[in-house]
Chain A
């Protein structure tokens, strides 16, 4: 799950997820909720798949790279990701993510965009194990 926190200049999200795949899926959905005006849009359907393979020095960098990849795909190919099928996620050093992003191209007839996200920041970024799984806080620069 994810929840938005009060942050004056940008947007902060707290993620609480049962496992690795859940963390990356929740992070994706938080980003989608910023980019898309979900109240005034049809749901994003899993019509298209895109491969994702990422490697970073640690879990935090992997999460930042992954979200920045989603921002890049939307910015350049108008691809909105709504689900992740991960074949491998390792949160060690290095950290790795292989899998498929499921979603569709932004369709102006069905979707209303909301806010442009410039990037995912490292501010306060820490992926930690909590009592119910994994937790992280992410600040997006808008």
Chain B
């Protein structure tokens, strides 16, 4: 496999062997050095071998090794000739990020953040096995949620219709079929709705500490020193089980349709096939679960602000800035080489970044572009960007999704053995509440790459435009 530098933030893996298209990876020299340490470039080349791939196999600057497809990988497939692959979505279907804005200023509330963090921690189950006692769904509710996503949550009293306007796809993928979801997935998911999980998932209270484009920031409801909340979670055991079930089904399908797989984990089926259609309809159930999940968590966040800080909804003014998926496959319309085409875009550890003017961007943001949410680690910062109209035409208007790990969990635990990360973060003004001390050690800030380096490449490569930076003051984790 060859790697050619195209410019200071873009590289090409020229087509060779069974590759059908070139690979393109966005990175500067420093990021590429770390990317080359794992097998993610080989995975970009492997994806390029799949039938019906359109344009290029793409890697974002936060790319790293994933299951089959790299994390940070984007690929579009032709609806007639192309395939759909669970490995191109990931286990956590519609893992994603939601950003909330408030009317509150950090200076007025900094001293009371610890109370709020404890309030969030009590209301929002984090970690392994924790669930809301008041939320165990029966089959009928699960079916409604799987079909209607965040709409179901709002109809059930969690949040407002206005919230739905600022969620990718309005918080509901049409065409979800609950009959195609196994009993095991239902069992795993039914008590996990409204929960965060463990690992890198979190709810973070922060504030806008730097604004790069005041006009854009204001349009999406972000003001200097304004308090914000980021929610990072997905479809929980429901989505994991859907992925697991369909990996098996699609492994057999790939054999049956004679699809050459450079790696068994790239198993896939033609989009036109029965297996492919069934996976897509089941995957949509997982995606809708995740939209509903982030909507429920939003409701609990509002409750915490109201009860811990004695505020009314009018006082806190918590609204959804945006909610993006970063593990998803969707049929979208794109202009490719001057031709308008429908393609099935897989984004695994990558987000959509539609520019101003795109019909899928909420009306209120139509002239600024879709917000792109890029969380960093719990000690440093996260970024908000918007889609760039000058984005290269072949990326399916996609952007990065986060920082990516620098250290393995084992190495992170070793590095923190004699440290107290909760105390260290408290000294920096960040309150942390977590279900497990071990998770905090595994997730300590330096276990991650500096997200600023990733975002810098995204901005310079015109994938998205930097709008604001958020700093954490309080975090709950698994």
Contacts and interface: CB of A to CB of B under 8 A. Distances in A.
Contact of A116 (B406, B408, B478): B478
Interface of A: 4, 6-9, 11, 35, 37, 40, 68, 72, 74-76, 78, 106, 112-116, 118-119, 121-123, 141-142
B188 A113 contact: no
Interface residues of B, number: 39
A103 B264 CA distance: 34
Interface of B: 38, 64-67, 71, 91-92, 127-129, 184, 187-188, 197-199, 237, 240-241, 243-244, 247, 264-265, 405-411, 435-439, 442, 478
Contacts of A121: 67, 265
30 contacts: A6-B408, A6-B410, A8-B38, A8-B64, A8-B65, A8-B405, A9-B405, A11-B409, A11-B410, A37-B437, A72-B184, A74-B129, A75-B129, A78-B129, A114-B198, A114-B436, A114-B438, A115-B442, A115-B478, A116-B128, A116-B198, A116-B478, A118-B91, A119-B91, A121-B67, A122-B264, A123-B67, A123-B265, A142-B199, A142-B409
A75 B67 contact: no
A68 B188 CA distance: 12
A39 to B, nearest CB: 8
Contact of B439 (A6, A75, A114): A114
B184 A37 contact: no
Question: A-B pairs with the 4 shortest C-beta distances?
Answer: A113-B128, A116-B198, A118-B240, A118-B91
Contacts of A37: 436-438
Contact of B410 (A4, A35, A68, A118): A4
A128 to B, nearest CB: 16
A119 B129 contact: no
A72 B188 contact: yes
Given A9-B65, A116-B198, A141-B67, 14 more contacts: A37-B436, A37-B437, A74-B129, A75-B188, A75-B237, A112-B436, A113-B435, A114-B436, A116-B128, A116-B478, A118-B92, A121-B67, A141-B240, A142-B409
Given A37-B436, A116-B128, A8 B408 contact: yes
A114 B128 contact: yes
A76 B236 CA distance: 12
